[in-house]
A and B are shown apart, each in its own frame.
Chain A
Amino acid sequence: MLITIKYFGQIAEVTQKEEESLEFSGALISELLEQLYKKYALLGNKDFKVAQNQELVTFETPVSGNEIALLPPFAGG
């Protein structure tokens, strides 16, 4: 399936883009991340959480096809 991934803050610095669409044939968020680690070598060193459909999810969550976002540490306030 074609999924849209959003990148923010220092993650967007690594990917050099804020959003992209990728073809993904796996099942879990962890498999999607493996695909991204291959594409972006520096991503593995970064601290981030994953949101799917605007809710934080674990890496063992199935990819639903909704919007995925990679969120670096929060710094509000």
Chain B
Amino acid sequence: MADKKIKNVFRQGAISSGFIGESIHKHQTKTSIGAHNIFLGQVRADVIDDKTVTAIEYTAYEDMANAKFHDIREAAFEKFELTCMHIYHSLGTVKAGEICLFVFVSSPRRKVVFEALEFIVEAIKADVPVFGKEIFEDESHQWKKNT
């Protein structure tokens, strides 16, 4: 079921495993669902010129980003037979190894959720104005760019 209201996708800091577990738990009452699929984006400790990334500091053009997340949500509901969909993205500092993106799709049948999840994650990477400052251990930084 598509939700017309624009939601705030952003959460301050990392997305905890407790929050993710609780989200799964909340869906146990929705018994038409036969398949969930989950994408978790995790901050990678890349080594660039002998320096290791310790965290990413996320900022966003929040109004436009939430509108884009909304468009992606609408497009996914249009394209796939989904029961529900949830997207959460971090703002602020997320340390290496922590979760910065949580996408959760549910459907009566499994094939749909594999395709839908890839569609949604790729659209997020390409279309949503979120910016990432990769912080190194010596507190210098560089700007992340999705490829």
Shortest distance from the beta carbon of A13 to any chain B beta carbon, whole Å: 9
Contact A9/B100 with A54-B63, A75-B144, A77-B146 known, Cβ cut-off 8 Å? no
Q: Is the CB of A8 within 8 A of B144?
A: no
- Per the bound structure, the CA–CA distance linking A77 and B65 in Å amounts to 12
Q: Is the CB of B64 within 8 A of A74?
A: no
- Per the bound structure, the CA–CA distance linking A54 and B60 in Å amounts to 12
In the assembled complex, A69 has its CB within 8 A of some CB on chain B: yes
Closest to B142 in A: A10
Interface size of A in residues (CB-CB distance below 8 Å): 15
List residues of chain A with CB within 8 A of the CB of B114: none
A-B contact pairs, 12 of them (CB 8 A): A6-B61, A9-B133, A69-B61, A71-B129, A72-B143, A74-B127, A75-B132, A75-B143, A75-B144, A76-B125, A76-B130, A77-B146
9 nearest A-B residue pairs (beta carbon): A76-B130, A9-B131, A75-B132, A75-B144, A54-B64, A73-B145, A77-B41, A77-B101, A10-B143
Please report B residues at the A interface, Cβ cutoff 8 Å: 41, 56, 58-61, 63-65, 67, 89, 100-101, 121, 124-133, 143-146
Please report A residues at the B interface, Cβ cutoff 8 Å: 6, 8-10, 51, 54-55, 69, 71-77
Q: Is the CB of B143 within 8 A of A9?
A: yes
Closest to B64 in A: A54
- Per the bound structure, the CA–CA distance linking A77 and B126 in Å amounts to 10
Q: Is the CB of B63 within 8 A of A74?
A: no
Shortest distance from the beta carbon of B129 to any chain A beta carbon, whole Å: 5
Closest to A10 in B: B143
Q: Is the CB of A51 within 8 A of B64?
A: yes
- Per the bound structure, the CA–CA distance linking A51 and B60 in Å amounts to 13
Shortest distance from the beta carbon of B116 to any chain A beta carbon, whole Å: 16
List residues of chain A with CB within 8 A of the CB of B143: 9-10, 72-73, 75
Q: Is the CB of A8 within 8 A of B63?
A: no
Shortest distance from the beta carbon of A2 to any chain B beta carbon, whole Å: 20
List residues of chain B with CB within 8 A of the CB of A55: 64
